[in-house]
Amino acid sequence: MPDQQMQIGVVFPQTEIGADPIAVRDYVQAAEQLGFAHIIAYDHVLGADTAYHQPWAGSYTKDSMFHEIFVAFGYMAALTTKVELVSAILILGQRQTALVAKQAAEVDILSGGRLRLGIGVGWNHVEYEALGEDFSTRGRRAEEQIELLRRLWTEEVVDYHGKYHNITNAGINPPPVQRPIPIWMGAGSRGRGPIPPDRVLSRVGRLGYADVSARQPVLADTTFQIGSIGKSMTSLALMQHVESGRLDLNAPLSTHLPWFAFPSNFGPVTLRHVMSHTAGLPSGTDFTPASRYEGYALRYTQAAWEPGDRFHYSNTGYKLLGWLLEDLENAPYATVLRRRVLEPVGMTKTDPVAAHANRHRLATGYVPLHDDRPYRIGDTLIPATWMEYNAGDGSPAATIEDMASYARLWLNGGRVGQRALVSATSFQQMTSPVIAMNRGEQYEHDYGYGFGIISHQVDGHRFIGHGGSTVGFRAIMLVDQTDSLAVALLCTGSDVDTYTPAHYALQVAAALRDGLPMPSPPGAPNREEVPNANRYAGDFINEVSGSRLSIRNEANRLILDAHSPDRSPVLAGVRLQHISGETIVVPADSFDPFPLRFRFQGSAGSASTADEVHHGGDVYIRADASPTVDVVPYPRTWEAVPGHYRSHAPYVSNFWIYLRRGRLYLAWPNGGEETLTEETLTGKTYSQHETGWFGVGPAGEPTAERIKFGPVVAGKALRARWTGGGDFYRVS
């Protein structure tokens, strides 16, 4: 990743420099010769006569001189060779869009691709009137203008028919050097009066590329996969049937879905349990392309606890709910979702399922090149695997405008205008926690799950919403019920934190609305900064081989030197990267695919220092300590299990198994690690060529996830099979 450096530019003195072209020439050439990176110029076309326009609060009048910005940039382009030309800002709303596209393209050509277009909506209603544009709609028109500019710069022929613009099969020629020209936005508006009851749309923004390699910008009809946000849509459709009496939340699921079977020594699984992730169903490995067999295969597993007692997130459970909707309405899930949710909400550009027929509108998702190890800073990203998907756990792809409409539905208590998709009672059930979500120390704020909706409390505010994650996409819908604000965020990528920017966007929106100071933005995450870094520092020796890790703290950054058993250097001065908790990545191929896991004798928040470092199956002991070596005896048949297992399933594609001190562990590509504990399932038999079942999760805790291995050939297990379906095969 290239170093990010601050760029310093100068502001072209529009109102001070005068009309002498020699003065303009001397200024811009001096700016370039002095090494400034860019020249910024303001934009105004007309100035008001303040003797007539009273009162006048604007900064500029008829006496303020402004060079026309595009003509001036053309002149500057001929006088310079490398300085960037930046409008800051061009008042886009008062100009004709196709003409702006043409003018900007020409400047970009004449300057050799040195134009950056900063745009805004302006404040001078006198200018708007004189130029024949509507001042009151300037913000709404800007949305269309930005989209149309990008299309005119990137497409040979444009056919566009929006609310404010019509272009029928036409294009500009020649196109700009930059396709598209970079657009920066700067605008603000102080709200006037109370928020209307139906919660107006405040702002929609689209940034970046829908396809990086093609440099295709994100447009109004570009869709993004929203993943598990779709669970709330499935729940909305189900609650409509509950209200009509066709479904009973407390009836066994098999009453409504007769082919469903889930062996259990406990009570039956109800619709309520499945909708709230308390049924005890496995998470699911997406081992089928959304086939009903994935639900049918649950008969080959077994319940581990009384339904309702524990939270365990299950995509398979919501797939069952999607198939239930299909059976109730005798229609495909896509038809049900469109009829029951998308059309009533006005989500006309949202595709209910991922299909080849609508793929052309979908942004390209991106994933790390290496799918078998934790993401490292600067890792290469590649286009994600594409697949059709049609299931109730999260198959829609939406535009950002449509997602704003959907967020507004939840802000308005399940209503669209005067129409209620669900009753107030049902809305309360959906958004009230059925059970607390045990998410570990990183989630401190009363997280609970209702029916397809997560709720939590932060700083006196109550939030509801849901996140979404698919292969190459991330999404979030977050509603602040206390402040009556909502936000939706859709993006491509895998290692993306969507909650932090979404939460900050709500804080900014509240400050703008209420006339309060802007909140401080959250700091950009820096994985090289490690909290309490001294706790990790020290010398550690491999308890088997004698190789050594030396870790030191330099300004809360951990630096690693590694040596072989004979003390010859292996790595020197490597800066480590923090994943989460006590897990650290070594950005070096020789340490892939496993991160370092630090073990402390004290609690995670204490001042104690690490006494051990675990790296896959290896253990490094602090050189100046004598910790108790906790090795347990294990069956020698387990030695057939360690290895790397893969499948062609895009969501869960691979994992590693290793032995460490007599215990088996499963390592996920994202750096997570889980313990395997051998257990017996009632009524299950095993081939002599297979291991028994292992529970996946904390030792001593009941688990819905189980795995077994076999057949064993030449001392190696060839396959790993999950309960509820999903086969992974040894590749190393």
CATH fold group of domain 533-622: Lipocalin (2.40.128)
Q: pLDDT per residue over 167-176, tens digit each?
A: 999 999 999 9
525 confidence band (pLDDT: 50, 70, 90) = confident
The reply to whether domains 225-514 and 636-730 share a CATH topology is no
Q: pLDDT per residue over 282-322, tens digit each?
A: 999 888 887 899 999 999 999 999 999 999 999 999 999 99
Q: Which residue type occupies 589? A: D
Q: What per-residue string of b and e applies to 225-245 under the rule 16 or more CB within 10 Å gives b?
A: bbbbbbbbbbbbbbbbbbeee
Q: Which residue type occupies 706? A: R
718 confidence band (pLDDT: 50, 70, 90) = very high
Long-range contact pairs involving 56-59 (C-beta distance under 8 Å, separation at least 24): 58/123, 58/124
Question: What letter does residue 729 receive in the DSSP assignment?
Answer: E
User: What average pLDDT score do residues 213-219 get?
Assistant: 88
What tokens does 10 get? 């100068």
Q: pLDDT per residue over 416-426, tens digit each?
A: 988 999 999 99
> Does the domain formed by 10-189 have CATH 3.20.20.30?
yes
Q: What per-residue string of b and e applies to 453-478 under the rule 16 or more CB within 10 Å gives b?
A: bbbbeeeebebbbbbbbbbbbbbbbb
Which pLDDT value is given to residue 193? 41
Q: pLDDT per residue over 61-113, tens digit each?
A: 899 999 999 999 999 999 999 999 999 889 999 999 999 999 999 999 999 99
Does the predicted model carry a pTM greater than 0.85? no
In 365-491, which residue ranges form alpha helices assigned H by DSSP? 400-411, 424-431
User: What average pLDDT score do residues 645-654 get?
Assistant: 92
What tokens does 244 get? 């009509």
Which pLDDT value is given to residue 551? 96
Q: How far is CA 7 from CA 3, 13, 84, 203, 411, in A?
A: 12, 19, 11, 29, 41
Which pLDDT value is given to residue 725? 81
In 339-482, which residue ranges form alpha helices assigned H by DSSP? 343-345, 400-411, 424-431
Statement: residue 687 has pLDDT above 80: no
Statement: residue 218 has pLDDT above 80: yes
Q: How far is CA 191 from CA 194, 202, 295, 371, 407, in A?
A: 8, 10, 50, 46, 20
Which pLDDT value is given to residue 201? 59
Which pLDDT value is given to residue 700? 85
CB contact at 8 A, 303 and 296: no
Residues 64 and 56: their CA atoms lie apart, in Å, by 14
Domain boundaries, the chain: 10-189, 225-514, 533-622, 636-730
Question: To the nearest whole percent, how much of the chain has pLDDT over 90?
Answer: 73
Q: pLDDT per residue over 17-66, tens digit each?
A: 999 999 999 999 999 999 999 999 999 999 988 888 877 767 788 999 99
Instruction: Report CA dihedral (658, 664, 667, 672) to the nearest 10 degrees.
Output: -140
Statement: residue 535 has pLDDT above 50: yes
User: What average pLDDT score do residues 372-385 get?
Assistant: 92
On average, the pLDDT of the chain sits at 90
CB contact at 8 A, 408 and 197: no
User: What average pLDDT score do residues 408-420 get?
Assistant: 93
142 confidence band (pLDDT: 50, 70, 90) = confident
Least confidently predicted of 166-180, 311-325, 620-634: 620-634
Rg (CA), the chain: 30
Which pLDDT value is given to residue 444? 46
Which pLDDT value is given to residue 690? 55
Long-range contact pairs involving 420-428 (C-beta distance under 8 Å, separation at least 24): 421/236, 421/240, 421/340, 421/341, 421/344, 421/345, 422/236, 422/239, 422/240, 422/243, 423/243, 426/239, 426/242, 426/243
Residues 228 and 315: their CA atoms lie apart, in Å, by 8
Statement: residue 699 has pLDDT above 90: no
Phi, psi values for residue 92, rounded to 5°: -65, -40
CB contact at 8 A, 697 and 675: yes
Q: pLDDT per residue over 350-365, tens digit each?
A: 999 999 999 999 999 9
191 confidence band (pLDDT: 50, 70, 90) = very low
CATH fold group of domain 225-514: Beta-lactamase (3.40.710)
CATH fold group of domain 636-730: Lipocalin (2.40.128)
User: What average pLDDT score do residues 519-531 get?
Assistant: 88
